[in-house]
């Protein structure tokens, strides 16, 4: 069973339709919207600030979502996919975003809708990306505009598939 832990006066608020893998951890001032999923060893810590997660968000295996005490909360919109081993810290991910495997998004960064941050990329603190592009590298750089087909394949398809995957785990 997933670890869901109250911190101080803050009890996580989790929609009943959320899938939580047995080793997922959710603590403190966290809200998670409908049809979202937290996979194996994913950690969402709202112990030092607020973490808001929208609808149909998938936080994949070993990913970490955290925030910064008295400075940066974390906001994640709807239909966001956060790849395995990614770190999302004190930033804003708007709706319809894909964060690749092992990517790192730091305090104060903003990833707007219709954006893909590639595997292993580092979005430095305070960086504001431009909507509709693929970003790669360390530090992340705008590489190319995304086509409608790429938006469909990488962002919409992934977000739509994860509720299906979660249904396979229901007993």
- Report how far residue 67's alpha carbon sits from residue 45's, in angstroms, rounded to the nearest whole number: 8
CATH of the domain at 26: 2.160.10.10
- Domain boundaries, position 144: 3-167
**Distance in angstroms between the alpha carbons of the first and the last residue of the chain:** 13
* For residue 145, pLDDT beyond 80: yes
The residue with tokens 């994949």 is 60
Mean pLDDT score across all residues of the chain: 97
Instruction: Label residue 33 by pLDDT band (50, 70, 90).
Output: very high
The model's pTM is 0.97
Kindly report, residue by residue over 83-127, the tens digit of the pLDDT.
Answer: 999 999 999 999 999 999 999 999 999 999 999 999 999 999 999
What lies within 8 Å, CB to CB, of 91 at 6+ separation is 72, 74, 75, 105, 106, 107, 108, 109, 110, 111, 123
- Report how far residue 13's alpha carbon sits from residue 53's, in angstroms, rounded to the nearest whole number: 10
Number of domains in the chain: 1
């Amino acid at each position: 069973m997933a670890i869901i832990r109250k911190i101080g006066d803050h009890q996580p608020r989790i929609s009943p339709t959320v899938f939580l893998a047995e080793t997922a951890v959710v603590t403190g001032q966290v809200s998670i919207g409908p049809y979202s999923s937290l996979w194996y060893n994913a950690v969402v810590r709202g112990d030092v600030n607020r973490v808001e997660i929208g609808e149909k968000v998938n936080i994949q295996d070993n990913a970490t979502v955290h925030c910064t005490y008295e400075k940066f909360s974390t906001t994640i919109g709807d239909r966001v996919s956060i790849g395995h081993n990614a770190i999302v810290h004190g930033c804003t991910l708007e709706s319809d975003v894909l964060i690749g495997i092992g990517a790192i998004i730091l305090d104060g960064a903003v990833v707007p809708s219709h954006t893909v941050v590639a595997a292993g990329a580092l979005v430095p603190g305070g960086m504001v990306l431009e909507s509709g592009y693929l970003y790669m590298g360390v530090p992340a750089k705008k590489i190319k505009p995304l086509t409608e087909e790429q938006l469909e394949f990488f962002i919409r398809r992934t977000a739509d598939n994860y509720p299906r995957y979660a249904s396979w785990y229901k007993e």
